[in-house]
A and B are shown apart, each in its own frame.
Chain A
Amino acid sequence: MQTQLEAGREISRVQSAVAARRAQATLYKRPRPGEDAIRVYLLLCGILSIFTTLGIIFVLGEESLRFFTSGVTNAVEFLTSIKWQPQAGEFGILPLLESTLMTSFMAMLVAIPLGLGSAIYLAEYAPSRVRSTMKPILEVLAGIPTVVYGYFALTFMTPALRGIFGQDAVQIYNTAAAGIVMGIMILPTISSMAEDALSSVPRSLREASYGLGATRFETIVKVVLPAALSGILAAFIIGISRAVGETMIVALAAGAGSNWSFPPNFFVAAETMTGHIARISGGDLSYDSVDYNSLFAIGLMLFFITLGLNLLSQWVSKRFREVYQ
């Protein structure tokens, strides 16, 4: 104790290096150029994202403008024609859009029931041990590169469909196989977002329902699902957005060459917007040709659709937050 007391008294005597600096120090601000430079750098990092967005809009807009003013086509024809035949100067986006919607529809047909079902199972039924094994498996599914899913669609799903529906009915390239596999790819996204929405429903609501003598299934359908509805809808919308923007699966499995089919036939080859961009840009493409510009016009369309869906999803889930907090 005595030595410690002495030590306490010694403090000021010993910390010479610090004390020497202290003696000269005033409270006045010292210039800190390093701090300022870092702050500017960090701000620039943040602002870069805005430039990325502006860059995307500018690039897509500029090239699209060239496309529409090239004289080969115009915006009205682009949006209304059902023929996309660049060799013949026909640039109507509808067939590409139709295939995109078809593959996305097929994907959602798979991903919505399975994604929501597995989310309900994980959030409401599964014991924690099952949950902790199943969630990483879904994460693995989410982490597989899309080109691998494309391989799977072409070498597994298509033969399987042809086996079931007949070689003649199902073409080697078709939107059904691409769509189904895309659904499997999107399933984990929907499942995890929907599960988050379900888990955030307050326990008290569930207990109130059980307290009135409802079964588990009734509680889920009548209380939990309606309460989590906005979050689940947001998950579905994000799923659609991902399906619309997905490229590699359709590039490998949906086929080349636009195809307007009415009524839609899911078993024939049809090129989607993304598939077309990938195929044309992957070949010999000369800059400043109409073909080149047309890709950006498709890209602009794609950008607006996905941005709209993303904003819609955010709006829907924001409403959800307002209601429950």
Chain B
Amino acid sequence: MSASVSQANLLPTGAEFQKGLARRNFRGSVWGRFYSLSLLVAILALIALVLNIVNSAFGYAITAYEVEPTALVAGGDVGGLDAEQLVVILQDYQERRLPVYIRDNLSVVDPSIFTQVPLSESLAGRTFPAELAAMTVTELTRDQQAAVLAASLSVDTLRSLVEVEVIGEQVIHPYALSESLFERSRIDAELLEALEDEPNARLEFRSWLNFEFLTAAGSSDPAAAGVRTALLGTLWVIFITVLFAFPVGVGAAIYLEEYAVPNRLNKLIETNIRNLAGVPSIIYGLLGLAVLVRSLEFITQGRTILSAGLTLGLLILPVIIINSQEAIRAVPSSIREASFGVGATKWQTIWNQVLPAAMPGILTGTILAMSRAVGETAPLIVIGASTFIVTDPTSPFAKFTALPIQIYQWTARPQSEFRAIAAAAIIVLLVLLLLFNATAIILRQRYRKSLQG
């Protein structure tokens, strides 16, 4: 009794307690606000990131044509012209450069001897009028040179030649969307300035992300550059990545969950996978460079889609394994027992019962891993994908470029027009990721439905 009385005297009471409580509550509410604020900062950062991209990808641009497209074809759309018509335009406007186009696009010999050897040699394997075979390119008439171009080049190539060489759209100054909306008067003043140097200059509102951007090949000219090559490269690489990593990753997960007894080897595998998941991606790039690109060059042909796909496959393997393990572990053991109970073998049980039940989780995990691979840039740079490529990849042994690489290269350039197309490419990449994730959600739900009828 006396102890409790004396203790009561030690503790604050009444007004003193109230005052202390108010202080305590105040401190709590300040910190509580800080906590919610930090989440808010994260969300603001995401919004800033998205707005920043949109801001660069759309907006006014001061551009100028060498030749107005409407002067070439009614309506100004060269997309509808056929090879003959395109060659005629080239001949009309860039007659003297026709041999250069032949050299750049068709020649199979060294540029230094190109003008000295007959076509049969310099254009070996190409289609061209047979009667010209003995002549060198400089001996041809302009019409004959045009005929060679028309015979061998695709409409796509000819069109991009017309766009770059004849129309020659030049971006003098791109503006961000925010500038376009709020600083129109400054833009107009700068347009007047530009008109002094370039009478053809004009102001247009431009979406750098447009249909042509998606379908055009890479180019060193930002106005004509597109992401088709890079997009195809990315799809090819991811195809190889998944082709390799899915069966191996799921296989390893099945082994660890269904077969492995807890001995030293299996514990080692388990720990090792967890550590591999934490290795920086650039290290996988070095591994791919030394092993896949160099040591196994006789298989992979060097810096090819195959090397890149396998490198990224190794990179996402731990992610696939860990996710698949979780999915397999979540399958109730009663299902396994039921299957064994009617005399199924281990593999029959896994294949018929465990895998179908785990598949939604496995697929979701795989698609998440795929999304990671799609955005990976560093390993691809290290294995050497960072070269200038304008031809579409057609096989796993093709040299290639990829979307994130293209974004990196464009962003790294100081000119603001490249920033604009980098932003457009980023939107393409993010939409691709969005598609993947949407697919994951749909797949998962459909699977769930089919299982529960």
Q: Report yes or no: A155 in contact with B38, Cβ–Cβ below 8 A.
A: no
Q: Once bound together, how far apart are the Cα atoms of A122 and B281, in whole Å?
A: 30
Closest beta carbon of chain A to B254's beta carbon, Å: 5
> Is B192 part of the binding interface, using a Cβ–Cβ cutoff of 8 Å?
no
Residues of A within 8 A of B (CB): 32, 34-35, 38-39, 41-50, 52-53, 55-56, 59-60, 63, 113-118, 120-122, 124-126, 134, 137-138, 140-141, 143-152, 154-156, 184, 187-188, 191, 215-218, 221, 238, 241-242, 244-248, 251-252, 274, 277-278, 281-282, 285, 287, 295-296, 299, 302-303, 306-307, 309-311, 314
> Is B134 part of the binding interface, using a Cβ–Cβ cutoff of 8 Å?
no
Closest beta carbon of chain A to B118's beta carbon, Å: 34
Return the chain B residue nearest A43 by Cβ. B255
Contact of A114 among B42, B252, B281, B381 (CB under 8 A): B42
Query: Sorted from nearest, which 6 A-B pairs have the closest CB atoms?
Result: A145-B375, A245-B280, A217-B28, A117-B38, A45-B251, A247-B378
> Is B422 part of the binding interface, using a Cβ–Cβ cutoff of 8 Å?
yes
Q: Report yes or no: B286 in contact with A125, Cβ–Cβ below 8 A.
A: no
Q: Report yes or no: A216 in contact with B28, Cβ–Cβ below 8 A.
A: yes
Contacts of A46 on B, CB cut-off 8 Å? 251-252, 255-256, 260, 266, 269
Residues of B within 8 A of A (CB): 24-25, 27-29, 31-32, 34-39, 41-43, 45-46, 48-49, 52-53, 56, 247-249, 251-252, 254-256, 259-260, 266, 268-269, 272-276, 278-287, 289-291, 294, 314, 317-318, 321, 345-347, 368, 371-372, 374-378, 381-384, 386, 404, 407-408, 411-412, 419, 422-423, 426, 429-430, 433, 437
> Would you list 13 pairs from A and B whose C-beta atoms are within 8 A, ordered by A residue?
A35-B347, A42-B259, A45-B247, A56-B279, A63-B290, A114-B41, A114-B42, A115-B38, A121-B36, A155-B419, A238-B278, A246-B280, A247-B377
Contacts of B248 on A, CB cut-off 8 Å? 45, 48
Q: Report yes or no: B287 in contact with A277, Cβ–Cβ below 8 A.
A: no
Contacts of B48 on A, CB cut-off 8 Å? 152, 156
Closest beta carbon of chain B to A119's beta carbon, Å: 9
Q: Once bound together, how far apart are the Cα atoms of A117 and B31, in whole Å?
A: 9
Q: Once bound together, how far apart are the Cα atoms of A215 and B252, in whole Å?
A: 49
Q: Once bound together, how far apart are the Cα atoms of A203 and B371, in whole Å?
A: 36
Contact status of A248 and B25, CB under 8 A, knowing A121-B39, A281-B382: no
**Dominant SS at the B interface?**
helix
Contact of B45 among A50, A122, A134, A141 (CB under 8 A): A141
Contacts of A246 on B, CB cut-off 8 Å? 280
Residue in A152, A274, A282 with the greatest tally of chain B CB atoms within 10 Å: A282
Q: Report yes or no: B345 in contact with A32, Cβ–Cβ below 8 A.
A: yes
Q: Report yes or no: A152 in contact with B52, Cβ–Cβ below 8 A.
A: yes
Q: Once bound together, how far apart are the Cα atoms of A311 and B281, in whole Å?
A: 17
Q: Report yes or no: A55 in contact with B287, Cβ–Cβ below 8 A.
A: yes
**Dominant SS at the A interface?**
helix
Q: Report yes or no: B28 in contact with A215, Cβ–Cβ below 8 A.
A: yes
Closest beta carbon of chain B to A33's beta carbon, Å: 11
Q: Report yes or no: A151 in contact with B290, Cβ–Cβ below 8 A.
A: no
- Other contacts beyond A151-B407, A281-B289: 16, CB < 8 A: A41-B251, A49-B269, A121-B36, A143-B372, A147-B404, A148-B429, A150-B408, A152-B53, A156-B49, A217-B27, A245-B282, A251-B381, A252-B412, A299-B282, A302-B280, A303-B279
Return the chain B residue nearest A124 by Cβ. B35
Q: Report yes or no: B386 in contact with A117, Cβ–Cβ below 8 A.
A: no
Q: Report yes or no: B426 in contact with A151, Cβ–Cβ below 8 A.
A: yes
Contact status of A241 and B278, CB under 8 A, knowing A45-B249, A45-B251, A151-B53: yes
Q: Report yes or no: B31 in contact with A217, Cβ–Cβ below 8 A.
A: yes
Q: Once bound together, how far apart are the Cα atoms of A188 and B269, in whole Å?
A: 28
Q: Report yes or no: B408 in contact with A42, Cβ–Cβ below 8 A.
A: no
Contacts of A296 on B, CB cut-off 8 Å? 286, 290
Return the chain B residue nearest A149 by Cβ. B49
Q: Once bound together, how far apart are the Cα atoms of A121 and B41, in whole Å?
A: 13
Contacts of B43 on A, CB cut-off 8 Å? 134, 137
Q: Report yes or no: B39 in contact with A134, Cβ–Cβ below 8 A.
A: yes
Q: Report yes or no: A215 in contact with B24, Cβ–Cβ below 8 A.
A: yes
Contacts of A154 on B, CB cut-off 8 Å? 411
Contacts of B347 on A, CB cut-off 8 Å? 34-35, 38-39
Contact of B273 among A49, A116, A311 (CB under 8 A): A49
Contacts of B38 on A, CB cut-off 8 Å? 113-118, 121
Contact of B386 among A39, A282, A299, A306 (CB under 8 A): A282
Contacts of B318 on A, CB cut-off 8 Å? 49
Residue in A41, A49, A307 with the greatest tally of chain B CB atoms within 10 Å: A49
Q: Report yes or no: A141 in contact with B46, Cβ–Cβ below 8 A.
A: yes
Contact status of A55 and B35, CB under 8 A, knowing A49-B318, A144-B375: no
Q: Report yes or no: A49 in contact with B252, Cβ–Cβ below 8 A.
A: yes
Contacts of B34 on A, CB cut-off 8 Å? 117
Closest beta carbon of chain A to B23's beta carbon, Å: 10
